Structure 1
Amino acid sequence: MSRFLVVQERPNPSTAFFIEPFCQRNAVTAEFYQLDTLPELAANEQVELLFVRYISKAWQQWVQQYRQQIRTLHFFMDDDLFDLSAMRGLPWHYRLKLFRLAWRKQRWLQQQQAKVWVSTPYLQQKYHAWQPQLMLPSYPLPQQPQLTLFYHGSASHMAEIYWLKPVIAEVLQRNTQISFEIIGTESVNKLFRTLPRVQVLHPMGWQAYQALLCRGNRAIGLAPLTARPFNQARSHTKFFDITYAGAVGIYAADPVYQRVVQHQKNGVLLPMEQKAWVEAILALAADPEQREAMLQQALLTVSNEAS
């Protein structure tokens, strides 16, 4: 069986609802590539190629190079990507993206004798001249439960956020059952957008943040502190935030947290060494009994401080 290559901008709902179920139903093992990642083919190797919504110039050049080895070229769309008038009312930058990566690829797709797949009977009827194949959506198979790791720093914590980036990258790579939650603006979103399973929440007011913590479902909270004069005046309020969220904290071994955190009893104290934080996070994630024991001690500490 020839290789089945799927090209997508990034992991997305279109692929999850339509393409992945198609592959599962037909016992097809797909290889997923992004718009800027190009595989090499062995001499005389045959492949099937599917573009999901978008086509980059780099991939057009790749097709030209390997066209004789592509048995069938497919293009899947689940929006009306071939009609500029249908895009009226959309944000201009999104319209420009659709124009560049989809609309103006029509003639090229026809030249390549591409087979079009569509998501709705409406698109199938509208573009009947393409003889499109209707794809039916399926709900993606439920993923394994995710353990939520979080860091809720404000704009004054950008040094800590940058410090955490490689820590989070390795943790997510080594344990696919961990997701990461962070609060930040567009700059934080850009910093973490290439990592899987990261949710960047917009900054919020105090009452909204309290409501967020009360929703629970968080397991491990992080509280690093870099060596900066501004941090010398910090208090240990993150200990309360993490505990109120129902989570166990990993804290910088700094006087700020050493006042309240007892290592391995009501939290974890670590030097600011990224490798040590990676290993501690993975160890805690794998030990729910230890997390629960430390959480109960942390709750007791909070209660004692309040009394």
Structure 2
Amino acid sequence: MPRHCYLVEEQTNPSSGFFLWPWLQASGHEVSVCRLNAPPPVMAQTNSSVIFVRYLTPAWRKWVENNRAQLGRLAFFMDDDLFDLGAHAGLPLRYRYKLWLLACRHKNWLQRMGVELWVSTPWLAEKYARWSPQVLQPQSPYTHSRPQKTLFYHGSASHGPEFEWLYPVFEQVLAQDASLSVELIGSQAVRKQFAGLPKVHVLHPMSWPAYQALLARPGRTIGLAPLLNSRFNAARAPTKFFDITQAGAVGLYADHPVYRALVRHEHNGLLLPMVQQAWVNAILRLSADDKARQIMMEKAKAAITKK
């Protein structure tokens, strides 16, 4: 029976990816990932290990104290010097406060509870030698990663309703296709709006020359051009057809008069009704069909060349 471990982390993070997941997988642990700011489990599994990744809270301290008799190994991992306030000089004040609140002030409690210190470098091990730290070696979290296909929507401040409309579309396709990532261009509000979805990258709005350079870089697979019915959208031009094609991607376009003059369905792109499930189905189908994407993309390029 595999050993069980609670991995307590603020959020999915590179510290766990480089240092802890390789160790846990090599040691054959069954892992329950717990969020630092979520309520701890009601009861601990007997003889479970607990690893705190960089940070700790009073709620988790209380949980450990209440369950200590049935817990096994306890460890605290850090890949920065979290316990020395002097080392934090020069860092932004807000970040310094976070380090004190979630790490530094818990040092004595960790030692009192017999928590092992795991660190990322010999330098940290030497500095905290009295704690007998264990040094974990980093390993690549990318070795077995699947190649990613980029699904993108490059909106502007006038596309707020379209961003909102796309959220459940992205939610579904990301849950069903591990090979997809999403790239957006949007404001800080858009960044917040999509923060809850994995593998969504939000780029800041940029100048026209910078945007042209962005599209010239390879790596985009499927471009989206949804368009909700509104008086403002009625005056749009089909410029996203040119953007998506320049990016080397195949486009999914709203079945709207704006796009019907340029896009022939299943020939140089897809024309779709503004029904979210239709877009989900089309994205998943195209993601799985490299040949269909390539054919449509080549025909889209040919259509531009003829213009």
Q: Over residues 111-146 of structure 1, what are the superposed CA-to-partner deviations in whole Å (9 max), with x where a residue is unaligned?
A: 322111011111111111211111111122241101
Give CA deviations for 1:149-182 in whole Å, capped at 9, x if unaligned: 0001111111111111111011101111101101
Q: Does 2:177 align with 1:171?
A: no
Read off the aligned partner of 2:63 and give its amino acid letter: W
What secondary structure does 2:151 align onto? strand
Aligned to 1:20: 21
> 8 Å contact 2:218–2:248 — kept in the other structure?
yes
- Asked whether 1:295 is paired with 2:294, we answer no
Are 1:108 and 2:117 counterparts? Answer: no
Flag structure 1 segments of 5+ consecutive residues without an equivalent.
Answer: none
For the residues of structure 2 that align with 1:285 and 1:233, how far apart are their CA atoms? 31
Inter-partner Cα distance in structure 2 for 1:49 and 1:298: 54
Q: Give 2:302's aligned amino acid.
A: L
Q: Which amino acid aligns with 2:47?
A: Q
Once the two structures are superposed, residues 227-269 of structure 1 have per-residue CA deviations (whole angstroms, 9 ceiling, x without a partner) of 2221111100000000000001111111111121111111111
1:3-18 mapped onto 2 (5 Å cutoff): 3-18=4-19
- Partners of 1:265 and 1:39 lie apart in 2 by 53
- 2:171 is aligned with what amino acid? A
User: In the alignment, which residue of structure 1 is the partner of 2:210?
Assistant: 208
Deviation of 1:79 (Å): 0.2
Unaligned stretches of 5+ in structure 2? Answer: none
Q: What is the identity, as a one-letter code, of the residue corresponding to 1:69?
A: Q
Separation in structure 2 between the aligned mates of residue 67 and residue 272 of structure 1, nearest angstrom: 55
Cα–Cα, structure 1 residues 186 and 43, in superposed 2: closer, same or farther, change >3 Å?
closer
Q: Which residue of 2 aligns with 1:126?
A: 127
State the Cα distance separating 1:43 from its structure 2 match.
7.5
In the alignment of these two chains, the number of paired residues is: 305
Aligned counterpart for 1:219 among listed residues 208, 217, 221: 221
> Superposition RMSD on alpha carbons, in Å?
1.6
TM-score by structure 1 length?
Answer: 0.95
Percent of pairs identical after alignment? Answer: 50
Residue 61 (structure 1) shift: 3.2
Matched residue of 1:216: which SS? coil
Give the Cα–Cα distance (whole angstroms) in 2 for the partners of residues 59 and 300 of structure 1.
60
For the Cα contact (< 8 Å) 2:153–2:225, is it kept in 1? yes
Classify the secondary structure of the residue corresponding to 2:118: strand
CA contact 1:35–1:58 (8 Å) conserved in 2: no
Counterpart position of 2:235: 233
Paired amino acid for 2:179: Q
The correspondence for 1:147, drawn from 146, 149, 159, is: 149
Amino acid at match of 2:123: Y
Matched AA of 1:303:
T
